[in-house]
Structures are given as C-alpha cells and as structure tokens.
C-alpha cells in the first residue's frame, strides 16, 4: 500500500481514495496495479472538479467524455470502458455514482432471445454453456428478420446452405441442431408456421470417419517443460496441462474443478462432466503433485470462491474454459510447436493409454464416454493391432 499512499488525490472523489485502495487490495490487485487505479481516480476527480461536476453526475455519458479527454491529453493506458470499470463499479457500489443508463432501447430480437434462453434453461434443462451456443446461433439467424410470420422453408434451407459453405462439419451440425431448437420454440410461441423446423436440412457426416488428432510423441512433454514452475502462473499452467494430458479432462471440466472435488486421502478427483454428470476418477501421483504444488505455492489462500484454478490477474476469479484453452495455446507457443486446442490433449491421453496396453473399455471409463462407439475411434490409432488384421499386399499383379 506504500505505492498507493503516495498518490495525491484532490477534488470531489478524494474522500473515497483510501476506501478504493482498500477495495483493490481486497480483490487481489498488486501494489503497482492498485496505484495505477488510484491515479485514475485522481485524474477523474480533477476532471470532475474542473467542470464543476459532482460524483452523482458521473453518468455513462460523462464517463465517455472523461475517457475522450484522457486520450486527448496523451494518456496511453486505461482509455476504455473496461479500464474504467473497477473504479466505476466501486463508486456505484457506494451509491456515489449513478447506475449506468440504457442509452439504446431493447430491441425486439433481444426480448425474444431472452425468452428463448429461459425456455432452454427452464423447459429443456440445458447447461449454461449449451444455452450460450444456441443463443449465438439464434442471434445470427434472427438478425435482419423482422417479419417471422413470413419465414418460409426455402428461407430456412437457404440460410443453412449459405452458412454451411463456410463452416466445418462439426460447426454445421451445431448450427442445424440449434436452428431446429429455435424453430420449435418459435412454433410453440405461434411466431412461425408449424412444421418449419422440418425444413432444416441434415448435415452429411459419418461418425468415426476421421482419426483422433493426438499430439505427436514428445510434444506433451515439451508443453509441460515450457511452464516456468518458479512462478505462480507457471505452476498453475503446469497443473492444468497435467490434468488435461493425464486424465483427459475437457477444458470446461478443468475450469470447473473445485477444492472440495479433490479427496487427498482417497486419491480421487470428482469431475463435473457433460450432461451435469459428476464422476470420480483416480488421481495419478504426478497429477496430485502438480495440483499440490500449485495449491501450496501458487493459489492465494484467500482467493475468491472455491475454484481450484484462479486467474493470475486482479480481480481474480476462477478460470473460464476459454482461459484453459488459452493456456494450451500459450504453451504451444513457448514450446515452439504448432498451435493445438485443449481437446488434443484429451486425445493424447487416450492414445497414450492405448500404447501402454490399456483396453478400450478402461479408456472409455477414464474419458467418461457414455457409448462404447465413442471410444472405438481410438482403435484406429493402434497400428500394431490393426497390422495383425491387415491382409498381405500382393507382390505382383502380372
């Protein structure tokens, strides 16, 4: 707090400077970052004083004017709404600054999407992540469609055909599934012609037609070695990568892991998987050591919430699935290998178990597959076993 205390604040916000500094410290800001935020408060306070404005007049529009003045004065950081958000959030929480006004009226499509999101979560019982996927696809379809009653089967199939030209097979399948769901909802609401969901064409794609894309041997070790375990962030990233590569966790599962999910005495970890299923897995010794190393010498003891993996930058909070994927991409860059997604480590875990002689049934249990056919795709990467089944190539056809 010594760095913070040296910031001089005058004007109408001066009385809130000490409270803001304490708030920043409590939410995990480091001294230098906290001092920069208090300097922002000092600049805003002077700006209000120069214009004869009270904090109660600090509306969203006034905040935009302040940011414009800050840019014009030659400042190079905290020039956006995001940079100003911690300060405004603190002042609004005290009731000093007014809540942000809605400058743009709510569009009809937003109201419809809110209703659709409630239907997906409440009536269909879909997970929040699935609801977000469906809403994103629904927004793209509804954009520019003001008269839903005039929607035709040709319009639906034409939209799908145009979209699928620029999508992968997997993305196209998500689109048509989400679109059928949306149209069923619109039929129930009486907004479109009944049966219009049947106009959504299917996407050609053969299950198991491709090979699982595991990382080449040695690259997983390179990813792990790229983590600087002398730093907090490095210990966290190492633990994340170990869980992804040893237990085959999905990015969302690693992000959702909580402290209470780890049973150190039993040597197990509870994974919150797809379809809201919780399953216990044995915790390998190397994964346990990586987790213990981060929890002991990395994760703040007073960190917010019960999530295992926390963001390294203030205001902290648990990692998102996107942040877990970013950890994998960053490790690829440090290791000097081609960018890879977090799911590649899941495939690598499966193929590693297969090479070690684990049966497919056991691999399916670790990966928590509901169907044996899902695990069966890994049989195609067992070249030794497949070689015993292959017929010898004829030496000559003449």
Q: How many CA atoms lie within 13 A of 61 on its CB side?
A: 5
Digit-coded pLDDT (tens) for 223-270: 999 999 999 999 999 999 999 998 889 898 999 999 999 999 999 999
Note the CATH architecture for domain 219-385: Orthogonal Bundle (1.10)
Q: What is the domain partition of the chain in residue ranges?
A: 2-94, 108-199, 219-385
pLDDT of residue 144: 78
- Mean pLDDT (the chain) is 84
329, containing H or E segment = helix 321-335
Distance CA 141, CA 179 (A): 8
State the alpha helices, DSSP H only, in 6-152: 17-26, 31-50, 60-72, 81-94, 108-118, 128-142
pLDDT of residue 133: 87
Pick the catalytic residue from 250, 299, 347, 368.
250
Active site includes 61? no
DSSP-assigned states of every residue in 224-258: HHTS-TTSHHHHHHHHHHHHHHHH---HHHHHH-B
Active site includes 43? no
Q: Give the CA diameter of the chain.
A: 98
Digit-coded pLDDT (tens) for 148-165: 888 999 999 999 999 988
pLDDT of residue 7: 81
DSSP state of 106: P
**DSSP-based three-state secondary structure for 262:** strand
Taking CA 227 as the corner, what is the angle to CA 222 and CA 232, rounded to the nearest 5 degrees?
Answer: 165
Please, which pLDDT band fits residue 2 given cuts at 50, 70 and 90? low
CATH class of the domain at 108-199? mainly alpha
Judged against a pLDDT cut of 50, whether residue 388 lies above it is answered with no
pLDDT of residue 227: 95
Judged against a pLDDT cut of 60, whether residue 106 lies above it is answered with no
pLDDT of residue 103: 45
Active site includes 274? yes
Distance CA 38, CA 32 (A): 10
Digit-coded pLDDT (tens) for 111-139: 888 889 888 988 888 877 788 889 999 99
Dihedral over Cα of 139, 140, 142, 146: its sign: positive
Pick the catalytic residue from 307, 346, 347, 368.
346
Pick the catalytic residue from 173, 184, 274, 334.
274
Neighbour-count burial for 233-260, b at 16+ CB within 10 Å, e otherwise: bbbbbbbbbbbbbbbbbbbbbbbbbeee
Active site includes 346? yes
Pick the catalytic residue from 62, 92, 334, 343.
343
Entry pTM: 0.62
Average pLDDT, stretch 316-343? Answer: 90
Distance CA 208, CA 77 (A): 50
pLDDT of residue 5: 67
> What are the counts of helices (DSSP H) followed by strands (DSSP E) for the chain?
18, 3
């Amino acid at each position: 707090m010594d760095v913070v205390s040296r910031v001089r604040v005058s004007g109408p916000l001066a009385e809130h400077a000490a409270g803001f500094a304490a708030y920043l410290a409590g939410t995990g800001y480091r001294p230098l970052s906290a001092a920069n935020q208090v300097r922002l408060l000092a600049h805003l306070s002077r700006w209000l004083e120069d214009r004869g404005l009270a904090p109660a007049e600090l509306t969203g529009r006034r905040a935009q004017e302040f940011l414009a003045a800050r840019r014009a004065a030659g400042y190079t950081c905290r020039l956006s709404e995001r940079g100003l958000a911690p300060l405004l959030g603190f002042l609004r929480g005290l009731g000093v600054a007014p809540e942000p006004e809605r400058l743009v009226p709510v569009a009809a499509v937003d109201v419809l999407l809110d209703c659709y999101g409630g239907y997906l979560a409440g009536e269909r019982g879909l997970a929040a992540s699935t609801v977000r996927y469906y809403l994103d696809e629904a927004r793209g379809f509804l954009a520019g469609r003001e008269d839903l009653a005039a929607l035709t089967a040709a319009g639906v199939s034409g939209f799908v055909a145009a979209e699928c030209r620029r999508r992968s097979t997997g993305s196209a399948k998500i689109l048509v599934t989400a679109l059928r769901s949306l149209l069923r909802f619109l039929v129930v609401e009486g907004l479109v012609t009944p049966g219009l969901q049947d106009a959504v064409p299917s996407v050609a794609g053969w299950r198991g037609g491709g090979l699982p894309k595991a990382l080449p041997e040695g690259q997983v070790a390179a990813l792990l070695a790229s983590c600087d375990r002398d730093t907090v962030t490095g210990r966290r990233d190492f633990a994340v990568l170990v869980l992804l590569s040893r237990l085959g966790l999905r990015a969302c599962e690693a992000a959702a892991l909580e402290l209470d999910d780890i049973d150190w005495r039993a040597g197990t970890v509870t994974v919150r998987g797809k379809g809201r299923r919780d399953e216990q897995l044995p915790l390998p010794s190397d994964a346990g050591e990586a987790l213990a190393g981060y929890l002991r010498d990395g994760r703040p003891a007073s960190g917010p919430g019960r999530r295992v993996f926390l963001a390294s930058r203030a205001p902290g909070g648990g990692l998102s699935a996107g942040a877990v994927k970013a950890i994998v991409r960053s490790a690829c860059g440090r290791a000097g290998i081609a960018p890879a997604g977090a799911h590649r480590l899941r495939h690598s875990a499966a193929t590693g178990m297969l090479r070690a002689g684990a049966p497919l049934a056991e691999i399916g249990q670790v990966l928590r597959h509901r169907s044996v056919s899902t695990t069966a795709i890994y049989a195609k990467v067992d070249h030794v076993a497949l070689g015993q089944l292959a017929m010898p190539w004829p030496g000559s056809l003449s």
